[in-house]
């Protein structure tokens, strides 16, 4: 019995590879969704922490002319600051980021959907100095907002669930001008085709 299954396994895998997913098979369509993600931050020098950065996303899919290959143009907006680095209670410097980005990727439709994308964007960062009553005087500005350019490479593997839902675990390497504390982000894109 096991020998028969092993002989048929290559044919079953080949049949699966030749299928297309219902979620991407349309010639052109749009999907929206969200992505819970965690980035590795080096806030503590050699050590680090995982920072939760949720994202909202939108994708438009376009055929390339090659069978089952599609371009994916996307937009993302992330929010960082929901979890802050540990700080003393008398002096705190919370940091909040809004992270818009545009990306362009290539995917291959099938029972699994590999995606490779590149993106550019910015980080609008607001930091502020917060003190308690124990500190009576602070010199200099107490808050600061800056704009940092960024670029990234994104690799994911989409898993279609039903006609319109795709789960895509991903890894992303980011380069941020002016901030070397951030590099890798891991997450899960959850997108729903809306038309």
Encode pLDDT of 181-191 as tens digits. 778 899 999 99
Q: If pLDDT is split at 50, 70 and 90, which confidence band does 18 have?
A: very low
Which of the two residues, 47 and 35, has the higher pLDDT score?
A: 35
Stretch among 118-122, 128-132, 136-140, 186-190 having the lowest mean pLDDT: 136-140
- For the chain, give percent helix, strand, coil, nearest 5: 10, 60, 35
Q: If pLDDT is split at 50, 70 and 90, which confidence band does 80 have?
A: confident
Domains and CATH numbers, the chain: 2-193 (2.40.160.20)
Encode pLDDT of 96-125 as tens digits. 789 999 999 999 988 899 999 999 999 888
- Euclidean distance between the first and the last CA atom of the chain, given in angstroms as a whole number: 45
Residue 168's nearest CA partner among 112, 118, 120 is 112
Which of the two residues, 163 and 189, has the higher pLDDT score?
A: 189
The answer to whether 168 and 37 are in contact (CB under 8 A) is no
Q: Is 19 a residue whose pLDDT tops 80?
A: no
* Tokens read off for 178: 């002016």
User: What would the mean pLDDT of 81-107 be, rounded to a whole number?
Assistant: 78
pTM reported for the whole predicted model: 0.76
* Tokens read off for 70: 């599609």
For 7, the enclosing helix (H) or strand (E) is helix 2-18
């Amino acid at each position: 019995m096991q020998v028969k299954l092993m002989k048929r396994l290559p044919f079953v895998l080949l049949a699966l590879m030749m299928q297309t997913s219902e979620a991407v098979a349309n010639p052109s369509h749009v999907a929206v969704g969200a992505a819970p993600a965690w980035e590795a931050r080096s806030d503590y020098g050699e050590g680090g922490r995982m920072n939760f950065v949720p994202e909202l996303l939108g994708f438009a899919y376009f055929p390339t002319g090659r069978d089952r290959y599609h371009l994916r143009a996307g937009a993302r907006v992330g929010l960082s600051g929901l979890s802050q680095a540990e700080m003393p209670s008398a002096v705190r410097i919370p940091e909040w980021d809004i992270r818009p980005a545009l990306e362009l990727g290539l995917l291959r439709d099938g029972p699994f959907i590999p995606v490779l994308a590149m993106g550019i964007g910015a980080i609008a960062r607001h930091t502020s100095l917060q003190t308690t009553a124990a500190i009576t005087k602070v010199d200099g500005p107490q808050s600061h907002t800056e704009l940092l350019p960024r670029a990234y490479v994104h690799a994911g593997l989409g898993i279609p669930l039903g006609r319109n839902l795709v789960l895509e675990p991903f890894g992303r390497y980011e380069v941020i001008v002016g901030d070397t504390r951030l590099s890798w982000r891991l997450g899960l894109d959850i997108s729903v085709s809306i038309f």
